[in-house]
Each structure stands twice: as structure tokens, then as C-alpha cells.
């Protein structure tokens, strides 16, 4: 009896658009005299469940795909990854584990509820809690539970899975891998996948614990905090032959705290330590919502290239926006044709 794939079980053998996904094959996006001489590589964040996901995987500007395991999906981890393998074709698939990243474990209406996090933490009070939109005051932390207050009396819903940052030098996140991370590693190994991105790498044990889970692991260490920059300076040289770095620019910029100018030296530290490092997030996001590319986005991409970055990862929000995604890919393509990237 043939094996039933994940889309077959969920949709009766059809994609959301009503047709079975075609095999992934690279095709030119438009007629050109010849192939583009690629000076950069691009990783796309897989837009799970959206119709344009296979077209993204086919696009000649996409070199690899990244699956964000924070995505809630029906099915077992093994079935999910098997489906991704089928749709990615010959392109590399990276499994992005959430590890030390702080996320909300249960939905809460603030400030009337206590936040439950994916990790237990220790932190001196008071402290700042950074949401995607807004900064709240942390009043108390007990284990994985936080009591917070808005300085302006705001109320807000906080959804399960929402990422937060806590700005405090005293912050200690207890534990590294989440139960979900471990399930995905087990499933990936069973399918012969050994490419993992690790969020908020800050300690040597983050690397050694990954290698214990999978001795064959190919690791991208996502640098997202000032502790992460110290890891790059003090610990990374020991693992430079085994581990690749990523400047996860969204959270890294947030975690610079008030001294945002230090972001520039942080980026330089990462690319100096690893010339193959990836720059991720905050790339061409001005295209979302049907807008033109901004001057800041264009010059930021050029700046990253000039200081040495040649690998870029497009974030989840951009890749979920079909028009913005393909506009971004065509801009990257055009910049390469013109010799500007």
C-alpha cells in the first residue's frame, strides 16, 4: 500500500489551491540571455500551508528553505518534515529550533493574566518585556510565569507562540531545548536531515548539547543577544570548522538595548569571525503590504554586502506575503545582474 503523504491526509491529495504540488524544479523567472551569475545566496522561510510555497521553492533565487518549528501544524513532526522534503526537492532544508528563545506558552489577556513562558527564567526586578508592538514593565517572575504591567494602562492579547524579549543583564533562561525541539531533532534524524538552526546561542553547552542529540548535525548558531556576541568572541573560534554563524538582526537589534549604535560593531564581529555568516530578518520588509522598496532597505542590503555578508535569510512575515516575497527576489536578482550585490 503506498505511503500517504501529509497533504493527502489533510486535503485529500490536493494542495490548498486544489492541485497536487508539482515536483520542485528550478525555472527561470523570466526570459534572460543566460543564467544570473549569483554573487549571493538566499534562504527562504517556508510559508507553511500557503499556495505560493512551491513556487518559492522553485524560484532560482532561492538556494535553501528554512522551516520555523514555532509554526503550529497538524500532524506528527516526522510527517511534517517528510512533506517539506517532498516540496523542497533538491534544495537544502534547514530546521529552525527555538531553543532558548522566550515564547508565550498560553494565550493571555494582559495585564489581567499572568504570562506563562516556554522556559523558566531568573531575572532581577523590575525589568523590561519587549513585545512585537510595545514595551511593558516586568513586575515579578516565578519559574516560567511573569507578571507584567503597561506603563500607559494599555490592554492587549498575547497569543500562544508569540516571541518576547526581556531586557536585563541579570536574565538567565533555564534550559536550552524545548520538548518540541527534541521531537523535531528525532524526526529529522530518522529522515536523514541533519541541518539545524539554533536560536539564541550564547554558551558552549548549546553547541555540545546539539552534537549529543545528533553527532552529524550541521549547525547554524543564531546570534540574537549581547551574550551571543560574547559567544562569538570567546567561544566560537573553537567551533569555527563545525558551526556557521547567523546575525539574526531583528532580535539582535532589540537586545542591543539603548545602545543601538553597537549593532554595527556586532554585525562586523559576526562576519569577521565567520565569512560565511548569514544575515537574517529585516531584509526588504518595506515591500510588505504592496509598498515600494524603501531607501533604507536598499542601502541596508548594500551595506551588509559591502561588509562581507553574501548569504541572506528572508523572514517569515516577508515570505508569507506572496507579492512582497517575489518582488524581493526579483530585486535581489536585478541587483546581481547590475553588479550591485
At residue 141, the 3 state secondary structure works out as strand
CB 112 within 8 A of CB 156: no
Cα maximum dimension of the chain: 63
For residue 63, the model assigns a pLDDT of 97
- Percent of the chain residues topping a pLDDT of 90: 78
For residue 20, the model assigns a pLDDT of 33
- Percent of the chain residues topping a pLDDT of 70: 89
Q: Identify which has the larger pLDDT, 33 or 236.
A: 236
Q: Identify which has the larger pLDDT, 27 or 88.
A: 88
Distances (CA, A) of 150 to 43, 202, 238: 37, 29, 43
HSE (CB half, 13 Å, CA atoms) of 262?
11
Q: Identify which has the larger pLDDT, 24 or 139.
A: 139
Tell me the per-residue pLDDT of 270-328, one tens digit each, with 9 for 90 and over. 999 999 999 999 999 999 987 899 999 999 999 999 999 999 999 999 999 999 999 99
Report the chain's mean pLDDT, rounded to a whole number.
Answer: 89
Tell me the per-residue pLDDT of 179-201, one tens digit each, with 9 for 90 and over. 999 999 999 999 999 999 999 99
CB 329 within 8 A of CB 42: yes
Q: What is the average per-residue pLDDT within 127-138?
A: 88
CB 83 within 8 A of CB 5: yes
CB 166 within 8 A of CB 127: yes
6-19+37-100+175-283+304-337 architecture in CATH? Alpha-Beta Barrel (3.20)
Three-state SS annotation for 260-305: CCHHHHHHHHHHHHCCCCEEECCCCHHHCCCCCCCHHHHHHHHHHH
Q: Where are the domains of the chain?
A: 6-19+37-100+175-283+304-337, 108-169
Q: What is the average per-residue pLDDT within 253-260?
A: 93
Instruction: Identify the band that residue 153 occupies on the pLDDT scale cut at 50, 70 and 90.
Output: confident
DSSP symbols for 203-265 = SHHHHHHHHHH-TT-EEEEEE-SHHHHHHHHHTGGGGTTTEEEEEEHHHHHHTTTT-TTHHHH
Amino acid at each position: 500500500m503506498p505511503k500517504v503523504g501529509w497533504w493527502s491526509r489533510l486535503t485529500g491529495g490536493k494542495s490548498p489551491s486544489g492541485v497536487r504540488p508539482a515536483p520542485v524544479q528550478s525555472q527561470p523567472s523570466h526570459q534572460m540571455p543566460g543564467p544570473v551569475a549569483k554573487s549571493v545566496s538566499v534562504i527562504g522561510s517556508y510559508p507553511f500551508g500557503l499556495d505560493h510555497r512551491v513556487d518559492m521553492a522553485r524560484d532560482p533565487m532561492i538556494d535553501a528553505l528554512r522551516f520555523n518549528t514555532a509554526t503550529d501544524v497538524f500532524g506528527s513532526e516526522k510527517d511534517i518534515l517528510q512533506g517539506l522534503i517532498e516540496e523542497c526537492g533538491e534544495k537544502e532544508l534547514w530546521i529552525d529550533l527555538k531553543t532558548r528563545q522566550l515564547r508565550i506558552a498560553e494565550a493571555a489577556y494582559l495585564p489581567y493574566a499572568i504570562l506563562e513562558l516556554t522556559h523558566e527564567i531568573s531575572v532581577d526586578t523590575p525589568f523590561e518585556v519587549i513585545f512585537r508592538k510595545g514595551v511593558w514593565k516586568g513586575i515579578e517572575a516565578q519559574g516560567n510565569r511573569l507578571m507584567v504591567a503597561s506603563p500607559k494602562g494599555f490592554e492587549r492579547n498575547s497569543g500562544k507562540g508569540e516571541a518576547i524579549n526581556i531586557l536585563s543583564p541579570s536574565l538567565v533562561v533555564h534550559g536550552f531545548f524545548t520538548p518540541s525541539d527534541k521531537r523535531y531533532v528525532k524526526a529529522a534524524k530518522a529522515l536523514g536531515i541533519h541541518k539545524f538552526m539554533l536560536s539564541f546561542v550564547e554558551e558552549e553547552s548549546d553547541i555540545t548539547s546539539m552534537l549529543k542529540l545528533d553527532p552529524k548535525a550541521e549547525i547554524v548558531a543564531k546570534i540574537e543577544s549581547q551574550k551571543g556576541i560574547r559567544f562569538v568572541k570567546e567561544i566560537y573560534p573553537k567551533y569555527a570548522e563545525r558551526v556557521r554563524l547567523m546575525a539574526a538582526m531583528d532580535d539582535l537589534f532589540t537586545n542591543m538595548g539603548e545602545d543601538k549604535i553597537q549593532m554595527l560593531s556586532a554585525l562586523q564581529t559576526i562576519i569577521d569571525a565567520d565569512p560565511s555568516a548569514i544575515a537574517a530578518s529585516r531584509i526588504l520588509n518595506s515591500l510588505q503590504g504592496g509598498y515600494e522598496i524603501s531607501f533604507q532597505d536598499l542601502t541596508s542590503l548594500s551595506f551588509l554586502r559591502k561588509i562581507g555578508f553574501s548569504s541572506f535569510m528572508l523572514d517569515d512575515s516577508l515570505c508569507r506575503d506572496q507579492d512582497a516575497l517575489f518582488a524581493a527576489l526579483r530585486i535581489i536578482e536585478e541587483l546581481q545582474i547590475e553588479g550591485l550585490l
